[in-house]
Structure 1
Amino acid sequence: TLGTQTDYRDGETQTDPYSPEYIIPSGSVPELLTLATLTWGRGLPAGLTEVEMIERAREKRAWEATLPAMDSASQIAKRRKMMEDMERKEWAFREQEIEKLQEVRLEVLKKLLRRREENQNELDAKRLDEHRQKHQKAKEEKIKKIEHDCALMLRKLIAKRKNVMGKLERRDIIKEYTDFASQTYAPLSRIGYFLDNHSEHYVVKNFYLNTFAGLCELEASLPDSATQVKVKAPKPKYTATETGFIKRSARLEVELAQVHQALLEKKSKVKEPKKKKPLCFLEKVEKPVPRPPTPILEKPLIEEEETELAVICLQKLLRGRAIQNMMFEGKEKRLELIRELRTTHALQEDGQLLLKAEKEMILALQQQRDLKMHKLSSVEKHLAREEGRVLANMFDFLSKELLRLQEERKIHAFVMLAERQRRMREAEESGRRQVEERRRQEEDEIFKQAREGDCSIDNYLEDIILSSMEDTAEEQAKEEIQRIAVEVNDIAYEMESRRTRLQSQEIVAEMVYDFLIPEAEKMSIREKVRQSQRKHIYAAHQLIHRDTE
């Protein structure tokens, strides 16, 4: 095979279908000439619309052939009626085409609306994803800060727990140096000590290792045995003993040497060539037919080649002129049909241009609407951010107020409990003092009566019984009071634990109402006062300006 190269590019090759030359016999009008306006890319290859157009043209030609002649009034009226009917049919067909175009436009509008909804949904999903990521990031940062604070507080609590009593302890140097986990051996970086600081102090710096002169001096100081290698020749092995017995290792070495020699001899042997077997079947190989010699074209003379080219050019001009004349005659014969086809194509092109213009207008409107939606979304985003900030601040304030109120109530409860315990202890102490004083008075009275000798045993026992009854009644009253106080305290704690979220919300609502409503009333009263003062100020200004004028 031989490679060839042409003077033409691939883009210059013919890509449209070839239309051969044709000759019309005289007296015949082929139907194909009615489709001369259809070319490749504009009507060819023919589709459904082109086939319908051809069928309508055929029907119109058949209808024109059936039209009556205009030789009488009745024939003229009949002809006019047939033409009116045909015109109605054409208008109905045009209306159908317009409806089809409107359906196509509706489909385009539906697709555009569907695409806009999909883009809006994607934008909403993207915005929600951004909000979720932002909240997730804030949540992670908050959790990280809480964990850091928790670790810090735990360290502080551990440090406080080591020294509960708050006593000052001296530094135990011996304990620190015996404990390898102390700050002396493993200091913490959060205290301010970093292990990598001053690490260059531990780098070994030696004159004999870092300088060339030191290396030379070190080499000169080494003995000769370190720099000069002495190799001694190995002594021959004795395979036999003094008695003439051959050792086992020597026997194994001899056997291995024999096996190695046998393997080498087997490798070095040349393989004998095998005898060729006779062929069972003889086949005759036919030689290929020799190729004919390549013909050689004689190079023509320059004058003959120029003459031939001139003749070919003249033939092309004559043929082209003849074809132009034939096309012009066919065009003149079918001028009305060509005009009708041109008007149909012009209408189709106008409809396509209108569709294109409407599509561009719809796309422009869609872009404007997308821009407006983007602006509105950005404004809504900013408004939502500000609303969220205000609501967050308000809820933060309310939650803090709720916590403050709860803590205040707890502190008040603790204060009341401490006050009650203090009163109970004071009552117990006063009771003890009264008992002691009463006992002292009784003893003094007994001693006085005993000294005077006026009292009897009955009076003495009666006084003792009455005093013991009073003491017993007082103790029982105190125990009853303490028991009732404990029951009331348990009931109060149980009510506090059973309080629901709704009750908590009611408490918060009452707090907000007590906090916001008075402030709003104050603001309204201030505004009314300001309005009334403004009237008086305006009247005073009027009087002052009138006097000055």
Structure 2
Amino acid sequence: MSHVVTIEEPQANLQVSQTRGGVRSRAWGNVSTSRQYDFLYDPLFIVSSEKDHTQATIQANLIRNRLRKVPRFRTMFSNLIHYPRYSLYWSKADPVPPFIRREWKGQEEKHTEALRQLTTTGESFQMTKEAYEDPEVTGRNRYKYFERPFLPFQQMPFNVVFAATKTEAYIFPPTPAKYPPVPSKYTVGTQTDYRDAEVQTDPYSPEYVVCQDSIPELLTLATLTWGRGLPAGQAEVEMIERAREKRAWEATLPSLSDSFQFEKRRRMMNVMERKEWAFREQEIEKLQEIRLEILKELLRKRDENQNEVNMKHLNARWSQLQEAKEAKLARIQHTHVSAIRKLVGKRKNIEGKLERRNIIRDYCDYASQVYGPLSRLGRFPDNNSEDFVVKNHYLNTYEGLVELESRLPDFVTQPRIRPPKPKVTTTKAGFLKRAARMDHELAEVHKAILDKKNRVLEPKKVLRFLQRKALPQPRLPTPTLEMSSNEEEDIEMAVIYLQKLLRGRAVQNMMFEGKEKRLELIQELRTSHALQEDDRLLKKAEKQVTLALQRQRNLHEHKVSLVENHLAGLEGRVLADMFDFLSKELVRLQEERRIHAFAMLAERQRRMREAEESGRRQVEQRRLREEDQIFKEVIKVHQSTVTSYLEDIILNTEENTAEEQARAEIEKMAKEINDIAYEMESRRTQLQSEEIVAELVYSFLIPEVQKDYVKEKVRNAQRKHILAAHQIIHSHTEDMVNKDFVEQQQDEAVSDTDELPEGETQK
């Protein structure tokens, strides 16, 4: 089978089919891998479904080859957008003949396959088999089954290509009138290069027999299949463990026939239901977290892809601008070099004199064009320089280089280095040479200069015994007080006296507050320090009396404490028994109340969980309804979008078609009117021309003059009224302006008079 390539030329839009062994076409254009209607004509063109067949039909109908350019004669040479040179018309001619079927070929194949399956399942149904003609592979159609190789270096001789095969020709049996029934099963042997684990889709499950009154645990895992739970992972193991726990729990449930254990069974089922709901909530939370992570990852990938696309766009734009910049710089550089060259040429001959060529000077100057002609003048001295390139086996190949290196002597590849002899700086008599002495002095000077240049200035050290000399603060200027009168002096003295009184009273209050606050300390100091002899004796006597009173009080307290201890022992035993009884009663009451509180709390928690579960169920139902409504709205929006899109396309098509037809009719009508006008113009006489001029004058010129005269007359009549109105308006405005000016002057005068007394009072 030969491959077909379609080449579209941009000028004529011709389709040229090029086979594999044909001559390569040199036409410029876009190359497509298939033709427009291959899905209808080509029997080997296969589409996967009816949807792809419909898509191929739409693409073939929307191809630009069916658009025809119709020139517009009035704007044929226009380059403006709003005056196009041509219009695009959709060609209504259908390139596909009517006898070609446009349906999808897969329907026939499905019908044939259904009939074939029906024949295999039902032996009573007989299907007429297709009878194929003899293809005559070894006969007249033999050339269709051979093809020359396309590789240029592996061409097969013609005697091999067209040689007849030694095998005998296959003889097709005659078409029988009635076919035997087709068996329902076939045994087909296959051989594969893959392992069993790679080709096996579902592991083999052998048949089994379940014993009576036994439920194997393995049968509970029948829902797990290969790829959907098998091989088992951590989630499947947890599920199996939960199933085992549930079966064990079901075994511990009281039977339904026992009416006494019915309440216990209900409580156990409630507890298990709460556990299942809690586990379900955890699973839902895990799924939501996984979905959230997936959504975050998708958003991150989308951002990365968007950033990558933006960076690609920016890099492409930057490359484009950089190329434009480089091209512009090259163009400017070229222009600059050309201008400089012209200026240099003009500067050499400022006076504009014509000089003949000096052949001797040209041949003496090796930089002249005789030895190095300029390529921009059309001279290429190095033309065909590749003919003079030396091609040597020893220089162009690795083996030649190795052979050449082996033939070279050792000192070429392994250079010999001799150490230099030391420089003699002394004479035979042992004295230092003048040049050596000069070099030593220069080296010393150079070293001193470098040391001075690279020397770093040491920071100044702080003196050890440095002391700052304190400068005396400048004396504040002595205030001077100027008294203007005796009354002010008396007032100031009175104020100073009042300040003294207030300060003294404040100090007195501070001293009184301090005395009251430290009164105990003052008394303690008075009792222990700075006392006279009599006071000391008096204090000593008071001390002895106080000590005697303390001893008596201690004795009395000791006696009282002994009596109180005996009484307290008696009271303690009675109180201990009573408190023991009361504490036990209190503990019993607390435990009773606590148990009651626990019962109430459990009942409240049960009600709260029931309410939460009902609320959760309502939320789930509401979410399901919202999702259904959202889906309906999305479908509705899609349908409305498709409807509006189709309506826009139909309306735009109708408007464009109507506009184009109207333009065509208008152009046709204008052409007819233009022909009639030209015909009337050709038949018109001098008298008719004068009549036309007279009609134009009486119809347009004279009425316009009369209109201007009437307008001027009306304008003159209205002018006096306008002047009167202007006088009235301007007279009132002038009076108001004069009045405002007088009021402003009066206000300024009043403000000046108000400011004068204030200034005098300040002075």
Tell me which of the two structures has the higher relative contact order, counting C-alpha pairs closer than 8 angstroms and 6 or more residues apart: 1
Higher share in helix: 1
- The two structures have a TM-score, normalised by structure 1, of 0.31
